[in-house]
């Protein structure tokens, strides 16, 4: 099959429809470090009835993160926890856990969270932490994944939603979406097309993870 930029539906796996119709909304805590476009994609999916959930709180770690502005626009509480104020990753994660519990969160969504997490957070929300990464894992883990993909010469890039484990950008894969790499792609143009798919699959993967946890 030939992949073209407009054939988005065929580039997502698994393809699911109405995966979760539970009566009680999922209670989500979103963690973001930057722009927050995936945060907004989740909020929009909830508004559109595509995901039965409530965003209880946004936690952000950079004071100038635009994600906080998006949260304000949606009337969702936003809490700044600046990692620079903590002496260790464990201490930082303890404060994150405390904040998430304060807001009665049961699922944690790392939507552009640019910090490694520790066993403190993972053990507090076992198998209920979800991350999205701009590559087809297990390829191109870590930062600058889009740049890594272009430098390697791959012809297909994409994004992955997975459950979080201690190893960076690892854990069981929930969903993936593939994006063709075009001849004239730059990191910016490729990343923009990958983000379109991130916004598409992240809400679906949250629903799928919740169904699998039942």
Cα radius of gyration (the chain): 17
169: region left, alpha or beta (phi > 0 left; psi from -120 to 50 alpha):
left
Q: Give start and end residues of each alpha helix (H) in the chain.
A: 37-47, 67-73, 89-102, 119-124, 145-152, 187-213
Q: What are phi and psi of 54, to 5 degrees?
A: -130, 135
133 catalytic? Reply is yes
- Partners of 58 in beta bridges: 30, 78
Active-site option among 83, 133, 162, 191: 133
Asked if residues 129 and 157 have their Cβ atoms less than 8 Å apart, the reply is no
Give the full edge-to-edge strand order of the sheet including 129-133: 12-13, 173-180, 156-163, 129-133, 107-110, 26-32, 53-60, 78-80
Cα separation, 171 vs 162, whole angstroms = 6
Half-sphere exposure of 89 (CA within 13 A, CB side): 10
Half-sphere exposure of 162 (CA within 13 A, CB side): 20
Residue 118's Cα: distance from chain center in Å? Answer: 17
Which residues are identified as catalytic?
Answer: 133
């Amino acid at each position: 099959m030939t992949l073209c930029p407009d054939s988005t539906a065929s580039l997502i796996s698994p393809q699911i429809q109405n995966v979760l119709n539970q009566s009680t909304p999922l209670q989500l805590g979103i963690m973001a470090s930057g722009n927050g476009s995936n945060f907004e994609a989740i909020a929009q999916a909830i508004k559109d009835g595509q995901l039965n959930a409530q965003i209880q709180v946004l936690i952000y770690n950079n004071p100038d993160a635009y994600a906080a502005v998006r949260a304000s626009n949606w009337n969702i509480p936003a809490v700044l926890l600046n990692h620079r104020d903590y002496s260790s990753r464990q201490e930082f994660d303890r404060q994150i856990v405390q904040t998430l519990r304060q807001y009665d969160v049961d699922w944690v969504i790392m939507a552009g969270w640019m910090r490694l997490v520790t066993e403190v957070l993972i053990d507090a929300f076992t198998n209920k932490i979800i991350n999205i990464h701009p590559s087809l894992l297990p390829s191109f883990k870590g930062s600058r994944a889009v740049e890594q993909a272009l430098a390697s010469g791959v012809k297909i890039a994409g994004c992955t939603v997975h459950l979080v484990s201690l190893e960076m950008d690892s854990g069981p894969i929930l969903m993936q979406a593939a994006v063709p790499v075009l001849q004239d792609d730059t990191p910016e143009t490729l990343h923009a097309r990958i983000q379109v798919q991130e916004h598409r699959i992240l809400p679906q993967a949250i629903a799928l993870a919740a169904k699998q946890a039942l």
